Amino acid sequence: MQIIDNPNKENWSEVLKRPTQTVKDIEATVNQIFEEVLNEGDIAIKKYTARFDGVDLVSNIVSLDEIQEAITQVPVKLQEAIKLAKNNIEVFHSAQRTDKVAVQTSIGVTCWQEKRAIEKVGLYIPGGTAPLFSTVLMLAVPAQIAGCKEIVLCSPPGKDGLLAPEILFAAQLCGVTKIIKVGGIQAIAGLTFGTATIPQVYKIFGPGNQFVTVAKQLATKYGVAIDMPAGPSELLVVADDTANPAYIASDLLSQAEHGTDSQVILVSTSNSLINKVSEAIKEQIKELPRQAIAEKAIANSKGIYVKDDETALELINEYGPEHFIVCVENEAFYIEGIRNAGSVFIGDFTPESAGDYASGTNHTLPTNGFSKAYSGVNLDSFFKSMTFQKISKKGLLNIGETIELMAEAEGLQAHKNAVSIRLKDLK
């Protein structure tokens, strides 16, 4: 971990730079694969699955037999843990339901808003070095609560041509309607255009590496919505001398083990704490099975000393972390002042991994500073808000002249006439 002492504000952008490739580095590859999937469908999907995942599949559709076999391979205790996590996620997301909003804006003019589920959604579940079956819960549970009719899951197959049993167990538990063994750019392209085996969807959800993130952004050019640009994982911790250095080190490492391009940052008003955390990281990292991955991520990470809480909060809001842990005596200052963060974890006994798995909040969150404008996945992510209005005769008499005047001022005579023709009949 690189330790930075009280950096000048003009240097913050450099200090807070993410260890990611630029879109320009990736876009050419993404464009090429999208074009091939658009023109060749499953032939291109099969080609890139063989190239990137090292497996030549006879069929990329997960069969019912595969699902049933997978369930038998998931230990009962883990099944119960997944069910408990699912329940907590259901409780939190079900509480996000909102009622119809209706109001009479003028006498005789009634407007209301209702929500309708997005009919077809695609869920991308990362595989690779760590198949994230927890992400199945985070995406499929709110999709099911919302009432999405078609829930299509894509995840890259292993060398054996199968998906992790835990992914399949969670998928059948949460009402996924179709499971496809395909990952990476080609999965996003398949969901965007549709193929003989992959249904075209209206919105794509889920985290992924930098290539998946750029692919999702490209999908929007073809009329497919996305939840957010969610790329390599990141965590920022703010801590003072009251914090437990071992706890902080464990939190930083929990994110560092996600991938070599993950980033973790510690911001503190105490140089002593930063040094203690740095030493604790060196000890704890030795015990990790994913030590090599964590070490590379830690090499890109920083411990930043600042003079006071006000400076710390300003720097944190400038960074806009995906995950933000608050372990300070004056936690209210940061809770009230944070403006840009995907999800906030408060106190010594609220590890970020609780949100990753079982507390109930969603772990699909904006990265790379996108928390300045994007929310994490929530129940509303699976809905569209539709507005309705009904105007009575008296209502049109009340607002008709206003519409006529405004339409005429904009030079839109047909707009005015649509009101005038009715008003003549009412007078």
Annotated binding-site residues for Zn(2+) read 255, 258, 356, 415
Which residues on neighbouring strands pair with residue 266, listed in sequence order? 237, 303
Phi, psi of 345 (to 5 degrees): -120, 125
Torsion 406-408-410-416 (CA) sign = positive
Q: Coil, strand, or helix at residue 363?
A: coil
Task: Please identify which of the residues 323, 336, 363, 404 carries the catalytic annotation.
Answer: 323
- As given in the structure block, the two tokens for residue 266 are 């510690």
> What residues are designated binding site for substrate?
233, 255, 258, 323, 356, 410, 415
Paired with 236 in beta bridges are 265, 324
The values of phi and psi at residue 138, to 5°, are: -65, -30
Largest CA distance in the chain: 85
Report residue 37 as tokens: 């999937």
H-type helices in 243-323, by residue range? 245-256, 271-284, 291-299, 309-319
323 as an active site residue: the answer is: yes
Cα 237 to Cα 275: distance, rounded to the nearest angstrom = 14
Q: Is 318 left (phi over 0), alpha (psi -120 to 50) or beta?
A: alpha
Q: Can you tell me the distance from the alpha carbon of 371 to that of 334, in angstroms, rounded to the nearest whole number?
A: 16
**Among 166, 234, 257, 322, the one annotated catalytic:** 322
- Known binding positions: 124, 186, 209, 233, 255, 258, 323, 356, 410, 415
Q: How far apart are CA 121 and CA 150, in angstroms?
A: 6
104's enclosing H/E stretch is: strand 101-106
**Residue 401 among the catalytic residues:** no
- Sheet harboring 383-391: ordered strands across? 101-106, 109-117, 383-391
Query: Which residue bears the tokens 């703010």?
Result: 238
Please enumerate in sequence order all residues whose Cβ is within 8 A of that of 58, keeping only pairs 6 or more positions apart, or say none: none
Strand pairing report for 323-327 and 343-346: parallel
Question: Exposure of 142 by Cβ count < 10 A (0-12 exposed, 13-18 middle, 19+ buried)?
Answer: buried
207/184 Cα distance (integer angstroms): 11
The set of residues, in sequence order, having a beta carbon less than 8 Å from that of 354 and lying 6+ positions away, is: 345
Tokens of 246: 């071992």
> Cβ of 95: how many Cβ atoms within 10 Å?
9
Show which residues are catalytic. 322-323
